[in-house]
Amino acid sequence: MSVVVGLSACALSSILFGSMFVPVKKCQSGNGIFVQWLMSAAILLVGVAVYATQGFPEFEPLAMLGGMFWALGNLTAVPIMNTIGIGMGMLVWGTTNCVAGWAAGRFGLFGINATIPTFPILNYFGLVMVIVGGFLFSQIRPNESQSSSERSPLMVAPDDDLADDLVGGADDSDVVVPRGGAVPTLLGAHRNQKRILAITVSLVAGVFYGVTFVPVIYIQDHPELYPLAPKTGLGLVFSHYMGIFCTASAFMIGYVIVSRNNPFASSRLIGPSLTAGSMWGIAQSSWFVANDNLSQAVSFPIISMVPGVIAALWSVFYFRDISGLRNLRLLSIAVAITLLGAICVGVSK
């Protein structure tokens, strides 16, 4: 029965994680700081509901650290999504997410108990497959957004359009294109630089996502240090989510100060961002349930990689960020290799 519950939790978590940014992607989202703050508010509300169902157990401040790690990674999610697409972004950061989570559990990093795989060769083979898949994902070249409402450079406010950078904000009729197509060349080079930067930032974000559970696992692995701590993962959800809200709020306050009380805060983002946050809160709670019923060794590879596949389907069939025979072939091969690697990592333990 616990296996069925665990696998069902994995399925629910993967679907929600893979789809949560769809409402936000349809809006002009700026640099993502306001989006994350709204998401964190919805996440905290979900956390309060879970906290109540668990009987308001002991609050553990250390679990907030995991929430802070997630918020640091998620701060880059919207700019990445607006630069390389929702599918490619999730697939790339899912790779380092899986590797970081694997390393923490395999070698007992940060004081948690090491999990020695039953089949070490299969374990390392799976890890190599995940890394190879991540490299293939980085070779995909997403389409440029056709709608101006979906276009914003990485970590730059949406009103700083690429054309303004190149031609000083002139109208199309005022642009003089030099012989040999210098402006298209500059456009292509600029887009390639943004793509490389987005991939690099995605890889770093994945590391933060990968260590999100480390403080929670540390608490569970050291009952002698935390005798009053909840015994189940759900009991630590509220503490974890409070860390997210506090970190996101700190960034929002800093953003308001730096922007001199002129942040990008569109009212159209409120509903989509709250929806995304609610979906994430439920998905993460499901992940805690999966960990309790299957162990993190099995649930982590599944939930770190499958959402990227679901997001890729949104990119291909709905947003059309990824198209063309070469890109679709690369995507299919990379997904197959990465899923094979994730399965091998899970089975090896």
What pLDDT shows up at residue 172?
44
User: Nearest-CA neighbor of 43 among 267, 208, 211, 244?
Assistant: 244
What pLDDT shows up at residue 323?
86
pLDDT at 247 over 70: yes
Q: Please, what sign has the CA dihedral across residues 201, 306, 208, 106?
A: negative
Alpha carbons 161 and 142: distance in angstroms, whole number: 19
Residue whose structure tokens are 């299919």: 332
pTM over 0.85: no
Residue whose structure tokens are 């809200």: 245
Give the mean pLDDT of 287-309.
Answer: 84
What pLDDT shows up at residue 255?
96
Alpha carbons 142 and 315: distance in angstroms, whole number: 9
Give the mean pLDDT of 93-115.
Answer: 86
pLDDT at 178 over 70: no
Report the chain's mean pLDDT, rounded to a whole number: 84
pLDDT in tens, 31-87: 999 999 999 999 999 999 999 999 999 999 999 999 999 999 999 999 998 888 888
pLDDT in tens, 116-125: 888 889 988 9
- Cβ atoms within 10 Å of 26's Cβ, excluding its own: 15
Alpha carbons 216 and 20: distance in angstroms, whole number: 24
228-to-59, 60, 126, 133, 221 alpha-carbon distances in Å: 9, 9, 37, 42, 13
Q: Which range among 43-57, 157-171, 232-246, 314-328 shows the weakest confidence by mean pLDDT?
A: 157-171
pLDDT at 174 over 50: no
Give the mean pLDDT of 304-309.
Answer: 86
**Confidence bin at 147 (pLDDT 50/70/90):** very low
User: Nearest-CA neighbor of 22 among 91, 83, 81, 88?
Assistant: 81
pLDDT at 160 over 60: no
Burial of 160 (0-12, 13-18, 19+ CB in 10 A): exposed
Percent of the chain whose pLDDT exceeds 90: 46
What pLDDT shows up at residue 202?
94
What pLDDT shows up at residue 113?
87
What pLDDT shows up at residue 189?
63
Give the mean pLDDT of 131-156.
Answer: 65
What pLDDT shows up at residue 269?
93
Give the mean pLDDT of 137-151.
Answer: 63
pLDDT in tens, 220-229: 999 999 999 9
**Confidence bin at 144 (pLDDT 50/70/90):** low
Q: Which range among 69-73, 91-95, 161-165, 265-269 shows the weakest confidence by mean pLDDT?
A: 161-165
Alpha carbons 296 and 43: distance in angstroms, whole number: 22
pLDDT at 4 over 60: yes
pLDDT at 237 over 50: yes
